Amino acid sequence: MRIPRDLSGADLIKWLSQLGYAVTRQTGSHIRLSSQDNGEHHVTIPNHDPLRIGTLAAILDGVAAHHGWTREALLQQLMR
């Protein structure tokens, strides 16, 4: 599955909230999400529209690694 090319930071935050991530703070246009599932994990999302592909890929890789999934499995989980 390909990484979406037109995903905004707000859309990614909505997707990650399905996995138990919640906004913990914001500094400027960067929003920090935290999750307590599978141990504590933090990820920072720039609130840009659209997100750059490399930035999005790095965020997805970090979340997938925390959950023990591949990026492909994470994308399938989020896009249901």
Give the confidence band of 1 by pLDDT, cuts at 50, 70, 90: confident
Domains, in order of start, for the chain: 9-73 (3.30.920.30)
**pTM (predicted TM-score):** 0.92
Give kind and range of the element (H or E) at residue 67.
Answer: helix 53-67
| Range list of β-strands (E), 1-80 | 22-27, 30-35, 41-46
50-63 pLDDT, tens per residue? 999 999 999 999 99
Look at the alpha carbons of 37, 39, 40, 41 in this order and tell me if their dihedral is positive or negative. negative
What is the pLDDT at residue 76? 93
The answer to whether the beta carbons of residues 74 and 67 sit under 8 Å apart is yes
Q: Residue 27, CB half-sphere, CA atoms under 13 Å: how many?
A: 2
